[in-house]
Amino acid sequence: MAKHQIISRIPLATLALLLGVAILAQFRAQGRTLDVGSDREAQALLLSELVEASGRLRAEIEFLESQLAVYQANERGVGLQGLVDELNRVKVLNGLVEVSGPGVELLIDGPLSALDLQDLINELRNAGAEAMSLNGHRLVGSSVVTVDAKGQLVVDGHSVTRPYRFEAIGDPHTLESALLRPGGLLFLQRRSYSNLMVKTTQRSHLVLGIHRPQNARRNASGFRYAQPM
């Protein structure tokens, strides 16, 4: 157990009592007694030593109190930083902030369906993509590729047309390997569409903008039914 955890759990009054007992034990070990019938010189000497011991005890208490205040302040700082880190993570997941980093770019052209594009999104997520975009539109966990009344592919209210350009931030080698693996999704799509054009490129730096859905209401007000335990 860390030292500051021990100090924070022991009341200062208990520490004072323990120090007092230790000082009294030291006097007794030296053959001294609290006999009120002793001569005045012995009583004065004993009183002087008790005053000095009391001063040392008060100094020790003040030191422990200052140490406890420092540890508690540090713990509050660590807790606050943890909350900030978690808030930033949630913002990234929900596309509320612009993000940048290494990753992979996938350019694909062919008569793909909404389900084909959704499968590619899921493939990149499963490969470890931490943020993605499709034709420049930031994708989040709730993003779904659908078809509108005109038969046009739509994601978050934005129409997307071929060629389709995916940008995914994550480990470039892992993402590209997952896309190009034998028997993988792109392998199967190439067999389904004979003229499918596919190009993958590892990027050292990608920048993905904020998620901006059209004709869609963000569920930013919180959950109605699910509550944290």
CA distance 133 to 136: 6
Tell me how crowded residue 40 is: count the other CB atoms within 10 A of its CB.
Answer: 7
Tell me whether the omega of the peptide bond preceding residue 172 falls within 30 degrees of 0, making it cis.
Answer: no
39 CB-near residues (< 8 Å, 6+ apart): none
List phi, psi (to 5°) of 185. Answer: -65, -50
Contact 178, 127 (CB under 8 A): yes
pTM (two decimals): 0.64
Burial class from Cβ neighbours inside 10 Å (0-12, 13-18, 19+) for residue 39 reads: exposed
- DSSP 3-state assignment of 202? strand
**pLDDT, tens digit, 9 for 90 and up, residues 176-216:** 999 999 999 999 999 999 899 999 999 999 999 999 988 65
**pLDDT, tens digit, 9 for 90 and up, residues 74-120:** 776 666 777 778 888 888 888 999 999 999 999 999 999 999 999 99
**pLDDT, tens digit, 9 for 90 and up, residues 40-80:** 776 667 667 777 777 777 788 788 888 887 777 777 666 67
The structural domains of the chain, with segments of one domain joined by +, span 3-93, 99-208
99-208 belongs to which homologous superfamily?
Protein of unknown function DUF881 (3.30.70.1880)
